[in-house]
Amino acid sequence: MTTSTHVHPVALGFMPEAQVIDDPDHPGLRRAGPRAAAPYGDERVERQTCPATDLVYGDRDDLDLRRAGFDTVDLSGLEDVQRHCAEVRRAGRISDDHAAAIRAGLDGAVLPMVHGHELRVLHVADEGFIMRTTGPDGLSLVGPRSVGMNDHGQATSIHVDQDVYGTPLVQVMDGRAPELFVHDSPDGHNHDAGLWLVNLWVPLQQVVQPLVLADGRTVDRRRDQLRYGLSTSSFLDRGEDQVINDIWTLLHDDGQAWYFRSDMDHRQAYVFNTLSTPHGAGVLPGEDVARRCWLALEAAEAAVADGDADGARSAASGVDDEVLPDTTPALSAAVGQLLALLDEARRDPAALCRQEPGDEGATPWVAAAQAARARLVRYSLELRMVVSADA
């Protein structure tokens, strides 16, 4: 394999230093203060532009689960999983039946990793299966609160999903999690265990808002990794003693190394250490342009559907001078489709308004515009598993 030279300036969210306090329960360590924002909110998040390497165009042999804390697995051979993922993508939501079928397809599976090793699924967790949906540049496409597995937005800041020494693992595993699972924490580590608690992150499509992961070896955990108590009452059914989930947030440092894949679908998935790997959604260069084009095209669609040629031209004219910066090929191609459709609406909106609806009830231009915008929605599934690995 070769080392990728495709490095992009990706915007990531971090915990601001101003929100950090000394941790009274862990002398010598720090935690996020009571006013700190959760990893899924927009307030009190510090945005940093970080160089992130696109692994689609080259990989590194040492970026594997044991050394870096993450890897990519091949799901293409799991036919039932593939079929249900495709159905979830088309529906834009996940049902209980789909979730049960995907869990069943993964349970006991042996998954090849891109670096030649294999991962064996020993247990798929009952909780924590969710679907995330977001538009370009963080455009919200879900309601203000999640509903079960659905209506979850993107993670707006970098975090680690679980403290091996905290709730709920301390209750569920009677305090044995640190000795059973591989982990790196500010106050301890275990590199010799044979089990991993991992997240499987399955992109249904992710032209925008890609998942970005840190090479754990580049993170100063005692300095930059901060404990945080995340309330789970809105999306998990837990007892009172487990409603606050102990996770980690992260301070930014220039020495941290970040990686992503710019063009994935559900034939591949990330697997990363739930207890150790910092991750979150990144904003690619040009997502602001994609968002403006997305909104303009949506308004033009509505005008065309109403037969309002002047309204369609006005909506499309608001973005006639957009210039896309250097970005990933997948995002560049997707925005190019939006710009071409907007140009068509500017040139002859009356002709678009005279088109006859097709079998689906939309005119050809409106159907094409809807499909182009749909390509810029990031859908992803994530669930938690216990695995063993041969590396």
Q: Is the pLDDT of residue 3 over 60?
A: no
Tell me, yes or no, whether 262 and 291 share the same domain. no
Tell me, yes or no, whether 346 and 230 share the same domain. no
pLDDT for residue 342: 97
**Residue 361 DSSP class:** S
Tell me, yes or no, whether 157 and 240 share the same domain. yes
Q: Is the pLDDT of residue 215 over 80?
A: yes
pLDDT for residue 4: 40
The backbone torsions φ and ψ at residue 73, rounded to the nearest 5 degrees and listed phi first, read: -115, 155
Average pLDDT, the chain: 92
Task: Please give the structure tokens belonging to residue 296.
Answer: 């303009």
Tell me, yes or no, whether 297 and 206 share the same domain. no
Tell me, yes or no, whether 185 and 252 share the same domain. yes
Q: Is the pLDDT of residue 234 over 60?
A: no
The region that residue 119 occupies, defined by phi over 0 for left and psi between -120 and 50 for alpha, beta otherwise, is: beta
pLDDT for residue 288: 97
Lowest mean pLDDT among 161-175, 187-201, 247-261, 299-313: 161-175
- Nearest CA to 280 out of 158, 183, 153 is that of 158
Pairing of strands 188-190, 196-205: unpaired
Under the banding of pLDDT at 50, 70 and 90, the label for residue 241 is low
What is the span of the domain harbouring residue 342?
Answer: 287-374
CB 180 within 8 A of CB 122: no
CB environment 333-355: b (16+ within 10 A), e (fewer): ebbebbbebbebbbeebeebbee
Counting the structural domains of the chain, the total is 2
Find the mean pLDDT for residues 350-370: 92
pLDDT, tens digit, 9 for 90 and up, residues 76-115: 999 999 999 999 999 999 999 999 999 999 999 999 998 8
Tell me, yes or no, whether 272 and 328 share the same domain. no
Tell me, yes or no, whether 196 and 330 share the same domain. no
Tell me, yes or no, whether 68 and 201 share the same domain. yes
pLDDT for residue 214: 98
Structural domain includes residue 2: no
Structural domain includes residue 277: yes
Find all residues with CB under 8 Å of 149, minimum gap 6, and list them.
Answer: 94, 99, 129, 130, 131
Tell me, yes or no, whether 94 and 125 share the same domain. yes
Which of the pair, 239 or 35, is modelled with greater confidence?
35
Tell me, yes or no, whether 228 and 94 share the same domain. yes
Q: Is the pLDDT of residue 138 over 90?
A: yes
